[in-house]
Amino acid sequence: MMPQPPEIAIINSDTLACIGLRGLIERMMPFAVVRTFNSFERFVRDTPDMYVHYFISSQILLEHSAFFVERKAKTIVLTNGTAGAPQTSNFHTLNVCLDEEALTRSLLQLQQGAHAHGRHLPPDPSRTHGGSFPQGDPNGLSTREIEVLVLIVRGLTNKEIADRLYISTTTVISHRKNIMEKLHMRSVSALTIYAVMNGYIEADRI
């Protein structure tokens, strides 16, 4: 019998914010089910304790703090980057006003360590290799392409990557193109998720 996929709830009246965050989480954890709720009332009608995570707006926390204080180990409060209210000080927070790449990094850092050292986060059932691929990358990246991928994720320019690996800039560009094609990805944030989730780099090093 297959195990039930972990479920994550986003509770926020801002529909666009919910859609954007849901997309990022689904890319990070494609094995999880992400559900969105535009009100606390709808959320509590849906067996709330079955969720492994709650991503909630600051307003939801302020209005229903008693519920989330008891579940703060799996609650992440969505903020707008300004100074937080005293009620959020004991919770992990996520600034949703960051650009996509920075938001991706923040989510990955929460997943890997900041959020109770990751122990409340569901493991990816497809990853049984402990962060290494003894038989190679599942999408066929070469060792050199993985090296280039890691440096891209760390924010280095093509020239900096070329200097670091003692190859030409043209070769870096070629590797970059091959990586994008093999992974069917077009953004650095997507590459970041791939690199971290497959154990090529720690989230705190990006």
- State the pLDDT at residue 55: 95
Identical fold, 7-118 and 143-205: no
Q: For domain 143-205, which CATH number applies: 3.40.50.1980, 2.60.40.10, 1.20.1090.10, 1.10.10.10? A: 1.10.10.10
- What's the CATH code, domain 7-118? 3.40.50.2300
Higher-pLDDT residue of 12, 100: 12
Q: Where are the alpha helices (DSSP H) in the chain?
A: 15-28, 40-44, 58-63, 65-69, 100-109, 143-153, 158-165, 169-183, 188-197
How confident is residue 6, by pLDDT bands cut at 50, 70 and 90?
confident
How confident is residue 159, by pLDDT bands cut at 50, 70 and 90?
very high
Evaluate if residue 33 carries a pLDDT over 50. yes
| Tokens, residue 194 | 């791939």
How confident is residue 107, by pLDDT bands cut at 50, 70 and 90?
confident
- State the pLDDT at residue 117: 43
- State the pLDDT at residue 17: 87
Determine what percent of the chain is predicted with pLDDT higher than 90.
44
Evaluate if residue 85 carries a pLDDT over 70. no
DSSP symbols for 8-36: EEEE-S-HHHHHHHHHHHHHH-TTSEEEE
Evaluate if residue 116 carries a pLDDT over 80. no
* pLDDT tens per residue across span 178-201: 999 999 888 888 898 888 888 888
Query: Strand locations in 42-182, DSSP E?
Result: 53-57, 75-79, 92-95
- State the pLDDT at residue 3: 62
Report domain extents, the chain.
7-118, 143-205
Q: Are 90 and 72 in contact (CB under 8 A)?
A: yes
